[in-house]
Structure 1
């Protein structure tokens, strides 16, 4: 397995990602869009999820495909980012066809970033406009770090962000991940230099410092964020994608296995105050030649991509006025 050309989820052919953010708000929205409709499912392992239209992604539900996936800041308010995306897709003539109607289906998940130092004293909810702007920004080459849904993200010890990574399997199948990293847990070992995900790093994609050489780690929970916001929701939300043709049931298995990547990159993860959720999507662009073996490799690659994307989100985060936590890059020489 090797990273794709961009090392982004858009290495999966047919996918685009758009970001929109508001610096004063310290929040934003990210949209994943397919050139065609996407087979999709999801898996939740956090204790405090915030979602829209996820029930339809269960394998026993009648809707087979969706038009886009939204990751957003803003907690409950951020769920309205999907309204802006739905309006934009309808204007493009996209959506589920019902007689003479088009009904865009846009499952959404949110992070809690309401107490991150940004100006949240709005009159009109800003997230529908952010959603529509993110849709208009959809492209193959997109930014990571302090952009989109990762703009106001905070991890346990550092500023969080939006991350992405990809892998191309020996079979030619491509797998990618996109994550908004905002967990209560830490992405670095004690001392804040080495990433928990370091054993899975490829090249120097998040600094190349390697694993922490010490043993016995993880027995204490260090989180500046937990001290400040102990009772509030946190969350890492993401998407894994492949061009392999998957059923909804297979996509759900992919999403479930991909949570391994969160546990490899965030300590602790899946906490009661985390809303950890991963969507899985397929563009159905490539038939699997060995379904059992290919599905195994796709799930494994999805977990690796999620772990790397979490670390890349924090590695690429950059400081802004009013930040409550330092950037990882601030402490490196």
Structure 2
């Protein structure tokens, strides 16, 4: 167990990023197609193939997900992942055609100091291809891939992941690109809102403050009144349970609860918060109590992944770059 989403058998993750660009891509790939769905609660989402994932629509399975920086330009990254999968002969067969299915989402990291003057075509398609080619069962956290250019209201955002197992042996993992309009910490202190769900010292073991002050509960908003402030936390949740597409939709909805446990405020008009969810396995789950338990643990796992993304992040090498949590509280 690596405490990563790749603890789920058949899941691989790869990153590609450009330090000068201060942005990147993370690809989540499945060795065999996975039943998938989606839950969207942010007011400004940027999504590729999101409607495809609704239970009323035909395609049941996907070959992977893509998380990317670059705002709407980053949607090109899905084409790069799709190109790599096509080379492997992967995809949805329609007659003699094979089409890889790769939904994805983007974060807004266009104002973080990186050089976004890329010319006629954005680099995200190539970054998507590189991320897919790099996918494995071990991957870095923090300022990497889709988390390279991420920020929050007070500390550098990043890429986090976590995993858990239900008492019945069902596994669930989450990966998060944390670029929230709100804060992942309580005030400007070392404590994470996710602290009640922490396993070991995976994000510092700081616990909760002894008491809450008005300053701790004050709403911190990245960019404040700036009309250009745009943000998003992207999450993918994967389980090795055997679920229908409708059940995966419910899993995504319950997992989204983890955002509220980890970020304050969240699901705002300028957030694009999205949970992609997938089921890869053949372990049956009771459709009522079992799915409820799985969803509750998935939400906890999402909260942990979000905290780890900020805990593991490092500051961008630019003047006036947002400080990282570790710059203030090295642990």
Q: Classify the TM-score, shorter chain.
A: over 0.9
CA contact (8 A) 2:186 2:217 kept: no
- Cα offset for 1:100? 1.2
- Cα offset for 1:293? 2.0
Alignment partner, residue 206 of structure 2: 209
- Cα offset for 1:81? 0.2
TM-score normalized with structure 1 length: 0.95
- Cα offset for 1:216? 5.4
Distance 1:86 1:130 in 2: 12
Match of 1:215, SS? Answer: coil
2:112 is aligned with 1:111: no
1:161 to 158, 179, 185: 158
| 1:168-187 pair list within 5 angstroms | 168-187=165-184
1:249 to 226, 243, 246: 246
- Cα offset for 1:228? 8.0
- Cα offset for 1:226? 2.1
- Cα offset for 1:86? 1.0
CA contact (8 A) 1:231 1:273 kept: no
- Cα offset for 1:17? 0.6
Distance 1:261 1:161 in 2: 17
TM-score normalized with structure 2 length: 0.96
Structure 1: tracts of 5 or more residues without a match? none
Distance 2:298 2:304 in 1: 10
Alignment partner, residue 40 of structure 1: 36
The number of residues matched between the two structures is: 327
Distance 1:320 1:116 in 2: 8
Sort the Cα spacing of 1:159 and 1:49 in 2 relative to 1 into closer, same or farther, 3 A: same
CA contact (8 A) 2:316 2:322 kept: no
2:273 is aligned with 1:280: no
2:58 is aligned with 1:62: yes
CA contact (8 A) 2:142 2:311 kept: yes
- Cα offset for 1:215? 2.8
The CA RMSD over aligned residues, in Å, is 1.3
Alignment partner, residue 229 of structure 2: 232
- Cα offset for 1:52? 0.8
Q: Deviations over 1:279-299 (max 9, x none)?
A: 1101033222x3322201110
Structure 2: tracts of 5 or more residues without a match? none
2:259 to 259, 262, 265: 262
2:86 is aligned with 1:102: no
1:7 to 3, 9, 17: 3
Q: Deviations over 1:97-139 (max 9, x none)?
A: 1111111111010000000110101013100000000000110
Distance 1:174 1:229 in 2: 41
Distance 2:226 2:15 in 1: 26
2:140 is aligned with 1:143: yes
CA contact (8 A) 1:257 1:303 kept: yes
Q: Deviations over 1:133-187 (max 9, x none)?
A: 0000110011110001000000110100000000011111100100000011001
| 1:288-303 pair list within 5 angstroms | 288=285, 290-303=286-299
